[in-house]
């Protein structure tokens, strides 16, 4: 069904709007099933060196992947050539994270070949799903920010924006999480162990990156300073690995270029000859360590030197690549801002601002003012968090030692900015101190957010609320200095992966009801809105949801040996574990509910399964304790015959993109319950709504906008607003008093704190809970009552299945706006200026 639609329609006009002309149409359906099967066997034989009779599932996976990859190459070259020929402006998306997940289903689906691939494999005696699940997730990211970069790559290819993603090819992506006795255990994720059939190594595309050393001044004969020359003490080689990224209907293929570090001299021959064989490999080990592992802390600054090295390494390699490409095509750099938009995904690549300045000043001898103008017109920056602990800053001493020339440049930029603030805008000393690129109180540090801000012509937040808070808080002074720069670009998600691929049953149902035009423009999902009143449709919709829940229940049984009933309400909170995301609020409410069910077994409780999933940063003590608590509470509740069938708790280990693709379509209720003002946007919230879950959430991040789109009656909003949170914090919030006035909450907290769920270590949660009494920074107690009441409204609605389904259908129908195609078009028009 879906396949036919993809194959037949070759209507690309409505996907684009780019200045770039239309690419010649590709006949997506040109290959028939027997030919495809033949190609797979050839690939197996001549590239894998295997005969079908001895091939393993894994061999088949590689063979099929290579066939599909080959089919992307012509398009890829075509896209590149056309951009070059038409002298189109290119977008460079710099991100330390790309959380892509698996690629095979995505590529097949976008090329309209999924069904034919399944048929071809069946004809060879191979089951597609069985080989597809062997593909490892490319988990080169922590969470939201990395997944957003992946959705953006797919959308840029879809809406025909010529773009390159730049990042790091981590050998070890985000760790694999095991749960052992309820505790998180981190294991290395070795996604490259069996090779990576998607990537092309480009040895010829390699650049040297320097660290440390000294800066020499070159003076003219009359003693005037002419220029600076940085003499790095160490060098490593950045080697490019390219992965093609195909858009919907194979429209365009862009490049994701990931850098891998290699030694400039793999073996130090003098040491080797002197018999020091280990010492001879020292360089090699040191270089390769650079791109070995992704830092697993999100929303938390890792102060390690290696992290700063990673940031500079990939920034420097990417900028050399960009500048070289520009020079080879245009022969000069004055036109860089007209032909290149470089986007900073948070501050992680912010050192790029200083690096471009260095290239312009020191390598190309452009004067400071011109270089600064080029730089600002080229860069744009997205902020993803306001949490103070996540704002990146580096000790001046470290920065200076690693990047001595960049430190000088940062000082020079700072002098320029502070002069402007003081003289032109007459800012006072306090404001000057806040605007400075250097934090002066305590250890002196370079503020990467301020650097990214002043070096960019556009600074955007990721939801309407977040953008307003940016203006009022972290960037209040810089916003006064440069009032036009901050703008909003509410996040989005790609409907290909997050609806069509992960929820084929809902996609087919939608096609049946409203035709297939929503596949090219998800706004047309709004045609479903009227079907909310159609009893027959509601039943079909409920059956789709039921089937997705059965699929999840099967996975839960296989992986954990736990039985869950698909007719219960599936209530899901999946995301990184963070105190501000308030998994603790959810658990405490579950404990309170458990208590209620036990005290009032006669009441008509609605059966519910509460799912949790997510990873904690390995060094984040409380987050890990919250995982343990969820598991402890699950053990006690799931075993208690008094609540059997009414309440079950499941902590799903190793939440990742692939698991998200199974859990999200199975959700009835989406938990988006962060302390208002703290979640910049959220994107899980959008994925759940698009798959027909109702949201229970606070007025935080993009929840605010989701509420506006789905309507107040189709979402459960509770709790303090961001303004109220700020107000409570400012005016002396006393959680202890509040807790003591709420018996259900007090009892739940007392139970946890006294060891009801941890009998062998009764004090395990004492500190965690006493934090709620003492300060409760995340307002768990303040929002508890409102949350518990909202959950009882959820139960009430759940009793009325037709009404629940109607609201769920409204959600699906009304969230098309949260497509990352929309987001990317906004970036393309308003920031990058690559679209009209
Ligand atoms: C910084 C310095 C050193 C080491 C690590 C880091 C680091 C790494 C990752 C800091 C932050 C992150 C990730 C942040 C993140 O994922 N933010 C989320 O971005 C999403 C996309 O915009 C939003 O939807 C979420 O609200 C936001 O939390």
CA 152 to chain centre: 10
Judged against a pLDDT cut of 50, whether residue 14 lies above it is answered with no
Ligand 1 contact, 811 CB (< 6 A):
no
State if residue 685 touches ligand 1 by the CB under 6 angstroms criterion: no
pTM: 0.96
Residue 21 pLDDT more than 70? no
Nearest to 671 by CA among 657, 661, 662, 682: 682
Least confident of 292-306, 433-447, 663-677: 292-306
Cβ atoms of 57 and 131 within 8 Å: the answer is yes
Q: Residues with Cβ < 8 Å from 182, sequence gap 6 or more?
A: 627, 628, 631, 632, 635
**Element at 177 (helix H, strand E):** strand 176-180
- CA nearest to 801, candidates 531, 564, 543, 552: 543
- Cα of 446 to ligand 1 centre, how many Å? 19
What is the best residue among 93, 99, 139, 143 to mutate for testing ligand 1's pocket, by most ligand atoms within 8 Å of CB?
143
> pLDDT tens digits, residue range 534-574?
999 999 999 999 999 999 999 999 999 999 999 999 999 99
Which residues face 187 on adjacent strands? 176
Packing angle, helices 780-799 and 583-599, rounded to 10: 60
Residue 3: pLDDT band by 50, 70, 90 thresholds? very low
Tell me the average pLDDT across 311-315: 98
Nearest CA to ligand 1 atom 8: 298
**Rounded mean pLDDT, 381-387:** 96
Residue 384 CB less than 6 A away from ligand 1: yes
> Is 302's C-beta closer than 6 angstroms to any atom of ligand 1?
yes
Q: Which stretches of 169-299 are assigned E, i.e. beta strand?
A: 176-180, 183-187, 200-211, 214-219, 225-231, 234-246, 253-263
Longest dimension (CA), the chain: 96
Residue nearest to atom 13 of ligand 1 (CA): 298
What are the distances in angstroms from CA 511 to CA 6, 29, 109, 160, 786? Answer: 12, 20, 16, 25, 39
Residue 681, SS3 per DSSP: coil
Residue (of 486, 518, 488, 483) closest to 503 by Cα position: 518
CA of 142 to the centre of ligand 1 (A): 8
Confidence at residue 23, expressed as pLDDT on a 0 to 100 scale: 47
Phi, psi of 127, deg, nearest 5: -95, 125
Between CA 533 and CA 694 the distance in angstroms is: 17
Q: Which two tokens stand for residue 521?
A: 């423009």
Task: Determine contact, residues 212/234, Cβ cutoff 8 Å.
Answer: yes
390 lines ligand 1 (CB under 6 A): yes
Find out whether the beta carbon of 479 lies less than 6 Å from any atom of ligand 1.
no
103 lines ligand 1 (CB under 6 A): no
In the predicted model, what is the mean pLDDT of residues 48-76? 96
Q: Which of 216-225, 363-372, 381-390, 602-611 has the lowest mean pLDDT?
A: 216-225
Which of these, 382, 371, 302, 292, lies nearest to 346 by C-alpha position?
Answer: 382
Provide the pLDDT for residue 300.
67
Per-residue pLDDT tens digits for 424-454: 888 999 999 999 999 999 999 999 999 999 9
Q: Binning pLDDT at 50, 70 and 90, where does residue 6 land?
A: very low
What single string gives the DSSP state of each residue in 593-625? HHHHHHH-TTS-PPPEEEEEE----TT-HHHHH
Q: What atom in ligand 1 is closest to the CA of residue 466?
A: 26
Number of the ligand 1 atom closest to the C-alpha atom of 304: 3
For the Cβ of 577 lying below 6 angstroms from any atom of ligand 1, the answer is no
Q: What percentage of the chain carries pLDDT values higher than 90? A: 90
Report the chain's mean pLDDT, rounded to a whole number. 95
How many whole angstroms from 384 Cα to the centroid of ligand 1? 6
Closest by CA to 752, choosing from 594, 615, 624, is: 594
Residue 97: enclosing H or E segment and its boundaries? none
Q: Which residues pair with 651 in a beta bridge?
A: 612
Average pLDDT over residues 774-783: 98
pLDDT band for position 18 (cuts 50, 70, 90) = very low
Q: Is the CB of 143 under 6 A from ligand 1?
A: yes
Q: For ligand 1, is residue 148 a contact (CB within 6 Å)?
A: yes
Among the residue ranges 32-46, 214-228, 322-336, 769-783, the one predicted with the least confidence is 214-228
Q: Retrieve residue 677's tokens.
A: 């003002």
Return the closest-CA partner of residue 173 out of 143, 131, 205: 143
Q: How confident is the model at residue 8, as a pLDDT?
A: 40
What is the pLDDT, as a whole number, of residue 644?
A: 84
Question: What integer is the mean pLDDT of 502-512?
Answer: 98
Q: Which of 155, 298, 394 to mutate to test the pocket of ligand 1 (most atoms within 8 A of CB)?
A: 298
Q: Give residue for tokens 């075993």.
A: 639
Cβ neighbour number for residue 825 with a 10 Å cutoff: 19
Q: Give the orientation angle of helix 801-814 with respect to helix 703-710, to 10 degrees.
A: 110
Q: List residues bridging with 649 in a β-sheet.
A: 610
**CB–CB of 809/802 below 8 Å?**
no
HSE-up of residue 66 (Cα within 13 Å, Cβ side): 19
Rounded distance from Cα 680 to ligand 1 centre (Å)? 9
Is the CB–ligand 1 distance for residue 88 below 6 Å? Answer: no
Residue in 104, 113, 101, 92 with CA at minimum distance from that of residue 140: 101
pLDDT at 10: 35
| CB 385 near ligand 1, within 6 Å | yes
The Cα–Cα gap between 9 and 415 comes to 57
Ligand 1 centroid to residue 485 C-alpha, Å: 21
Tokens of 511: 């096609």
Q: Whose CA is nearest to atom 1 of ligand 1?
A: 301
Q: What number is the average pLDDT over the span 282-309?
A: 86
Q: What are the CB-based long-range contacts (under 8 Å, 24+) for 699-704?
A: 699/465, 700/465, 700/672, 700/674, 700/675, 700/676, 701/462, 701/463, 701/465, 701/466, 701/672, 701/674, 702/462, 702/463, 702/490, 702/491, 702/818, 703/672, 703/679, 704/463, 704/464, 704/465
Q: What is the pLDDT of residues 128-154, one digit of tens each?
A: 999 999 999 999 999 999 999 999 999
- Judge contact between 478 and 435, C-beta under 8 A: yes
Point out which residues pair with 670 in neighbouring strands: 572, 695
3-state secondary structure at position 629? helix
Give the pLDDT confidence score for residue 29 in this predicted structure: 52
Task: Just list the catalytic residues.
Answer: 384, 575-576, 581, 683, 687
- Whether 307 is in the pocket of ligand 1, judged by its Cβ within 6 Å, is yes
Q: How far apart are the first and last CA of the chain?
A: 34
How much distance in Å is there from the Cα of 688 to the middle of ligand 1? 20
Q: What is the pLDDT of residues 584-624, one digit of tens each?
A: 999 999 999 999 999 999 999 999 999 999 999 999 999 99
For residue 299, the ligand 1 atom closest to its alpha carbon is 11
pLDDT tens digits, residue range 676-709?
999 999 999 999 999 999 999 999 999 999 999 9
Q: Is 384 a residue whose pLDDT tops 60?
A: yes
* Residue of 93, 98, 143, 145 with the most ligand 1 atoms within 8 Å of its CB, for mutation: 145
The predicted pLDDT at position 336 comes to: 98
The alpha carbon of 462 and the centre of ligand 1 are apart by a number of angstroms equal to: 12
pLDDT band at 7 (very low <50, low <70, confident <90, very high): very low
Question: Residue 301: what pLDDT?
Answer: 67
User: Mutate which of 139, 296, 315, 385 to test ligand 1's pocket (most atoms within 8 Å of Cβ)?
Assistant: 385
Given a contact cutoff of 8 angstroms between Cβ atoms, the answer to whether 589 and 581 are in contact is no
Q: How far is the CA of 383 from the centre of ligand 1 (A)?
A: 9
How many residues appear in the chain? 836
Residue 572 near residue 671 (C-beta atoms within 8 A): yes
Is the pLDDT at 9 greater than 50? The verdict is no
Atom of ligand 1 nearest to the CA of 390: 10
Please tell me whether residue 834 adopts helix, strand or coil conformation: coil
86-98 per-position pLDDT tens digit:
999 999 999 999 9
Tokens at 779, concatenated: 């307002």
pLDDT class of 299 with cuts at 50, 70, 90:
low
| For residue 220, pLDDT beyond 90 | no
Which of the four pLDDT bands, split at 50, 70 and 90, describes residue 508?
Answer: very high
Q: Which residue has the tokens 């080959």?
A: 70
683 lines ligand 1 (CB under 6 A): yes
Helix axes 535-560, 504-514, angle to 10 degrees: 170
Cα–chain-centroid distance for residue 811?
23
Residue 46 has pLDDT above 90, yes or no: yes
pLDDT number for residue 15: 43
Q: What pLDDT is attached to residue 424?
A: 80
Gyration radius (Cα) of the chain, Å: 27
Three-state DSSP state, 800: coil
| Top mutation candidate among 146, 293, 299, 577 for ligand 1, by most atoms within 8 Å of CB | 299
Looking at per-residue confidence, does 76 or 302 come out higher?
76
Cα–Cα nearest to 325, from 342, 349, 350: 342
The yes-or-no verdict on residue 802 having pLDDT over 50 is yes
Specify whether the CB–CB gap between 673 and 697 falls below 8 A: yes
């Amino acid at each position: 069904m879906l396949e036919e639609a993809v194959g037949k329609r070759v209507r690309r006009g409505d996907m684009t709007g780019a200045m770039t002309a239309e690419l010649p149409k590709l006949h997506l359906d040109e290959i028939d099933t027997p030919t495809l099967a033949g190609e797979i066997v050839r690939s197996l034989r001549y590239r894998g060196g295997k005969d079908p009779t001895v091939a393993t599932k894994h061999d088949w996976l590689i063979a099929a992947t290579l066939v599909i990859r080959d089919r992307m190459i012509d398009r890829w070259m075509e896209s590149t050539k056309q951009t070059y020929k038409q002298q189109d402006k290119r977008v460079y998306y710099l991100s330390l994270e790309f959380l892509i997940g698996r690629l095979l289903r995505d590529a097949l689906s976008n090329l309209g070949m999924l069904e034919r691939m399944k048929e071809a494999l069946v004809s060879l005696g191979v089951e597609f799903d069985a080989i597809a699940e062997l593909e490892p997730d490319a988990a080169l990211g922590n969470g939201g920010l990395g997944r957003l970069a992946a959705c953006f790559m797919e959308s840029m290819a879809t809406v025909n924006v010529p773009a390159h993603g730049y990042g790091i090819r981590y050998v070890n992506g985000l760790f694999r999480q095991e749960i052992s006795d309820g505790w998180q255990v981190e294991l290395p994720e070795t996604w490259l162990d069996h090779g990576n059939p998607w990537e092309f190594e480009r040895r010829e595309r390699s650049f040297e990156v320097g660290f440390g050393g000294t800066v020499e001044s070159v003076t003219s004969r009359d003693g005037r300073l002419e220029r600076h020359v940085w003499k790095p003490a160490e060098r490593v080689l950045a080697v490019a690995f390219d992965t093609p990224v195909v858009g919907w209907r194979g429209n365009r293929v862009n490049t994701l270029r990931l850098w891998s570090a290699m030694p400039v001299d793999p073996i130090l021959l003098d040491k080797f000859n002197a018999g020091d064989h280990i010492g001879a490999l020292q360089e090699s080990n040191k270089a390769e360590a650079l791109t070995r592992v992704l830092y697993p802390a999100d929303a938390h600054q890792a102060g390690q030197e290696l992290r700063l090295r990673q940031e500079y390494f990939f920034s420097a390699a990417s900028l050399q690549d960009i500048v070289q490409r520009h020079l080879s095509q245009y022969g000069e750099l004055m036109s860089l801002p007209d032909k290149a938009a470089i986007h900073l995904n948070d501050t992680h690549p912010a050192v790029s601002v200083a690096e471009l300045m260095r290239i312009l000043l020191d390598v190309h001898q452009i004067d400071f003012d011109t270089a600064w103008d080029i730089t600002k017109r080229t860069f744009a920056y997205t902020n993803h968090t306001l949490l103070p602990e996540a704002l990146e800053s580096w000790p001046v001493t470290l920065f200076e030692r690693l990047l001595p020339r960049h430190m000088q440049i940062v000082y020079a930029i700072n002098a320029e900015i502070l002069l402007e603030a003081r003289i032109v805008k007459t800012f006072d000393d306090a404001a000057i101190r806040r605007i400075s690129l250097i934090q002066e109180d305590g250890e002196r540090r370079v503020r990467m957010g301020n650097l990214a801000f002043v070096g960019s012509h556009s600074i955007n937040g990721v939801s309407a609320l977040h953008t307003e808070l940016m203006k009022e808080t972290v960037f209040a002074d810089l916003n006064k200095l440069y009032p036009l720069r901050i703008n909003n670009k509410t996040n989005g998600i790609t409907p290909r992966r997050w609806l069509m691929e992960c929820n084929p049953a809902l996609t087919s149902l939608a096609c049946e009801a409203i035709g297939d035009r929503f596949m090219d423009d998800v706004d047309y999902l709004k045609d479903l809105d009227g079907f909310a009143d159609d009893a027959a449709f509601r039943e079909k919709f409920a059956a789709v949801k039921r089937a997705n829940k059965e699929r999840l229940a099967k996975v839960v049984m296989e992986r954990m040996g736990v039985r869950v009933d698909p007719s219960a309400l599936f209530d899901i909170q999946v995301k990184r574990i963070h105190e501000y995301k308030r998994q603790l609020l959810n658990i405490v409410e579950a404990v309170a509910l458990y208590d209620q069910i036990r005290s009032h077994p006669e009441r008509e409780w609605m059966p519910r399964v509460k799912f949790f999933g997510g990873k904690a940063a390995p060094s984040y003590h409380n987050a890990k304790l919250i995982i343990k608590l969820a598991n402890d509470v699950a053990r006690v509740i799931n075993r208690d015959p008094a609540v059997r069938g009414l309440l079950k708790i499941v902590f799903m280990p190793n939440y990742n993109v692939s698991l998200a693709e199974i859990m999200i379509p199975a959700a009835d209720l989406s938990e988006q319950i962060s302390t208002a003002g703290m979640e910049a946007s959220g994107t899980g919230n959008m994925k759940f709504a698009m798959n027909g879950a109702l949201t229970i959430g606070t007025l935080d991040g993009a929840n605010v906008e989701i509420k506006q789109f789905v309507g107040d009656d189709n979402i459960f909003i509770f709790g303090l607003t961001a303004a109220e949170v700020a107000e409570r914090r400012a005016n002396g919030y006393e959680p202890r008093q509040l807790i003591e006035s709420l018996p259900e909450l007090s009892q739940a907290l007392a139970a946890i704190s006294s060891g009801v769920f941890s009998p062998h270590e009764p004090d395990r949660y004492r500190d965690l809970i006493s934090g709620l009494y003492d300060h409760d920074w995340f307002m768990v107690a303040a929002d508890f009552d409102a949350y518990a009441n909202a959950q009882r409204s959820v139960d009430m609605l759940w009793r009325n299945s037709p009404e629940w389904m109607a609201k769920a259908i409204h959600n699906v129908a009304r969230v098309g706006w949260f497509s990352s195609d929309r987001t990317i078009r906004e970036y393309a028009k308003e920031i990058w200026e690559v679209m009209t």
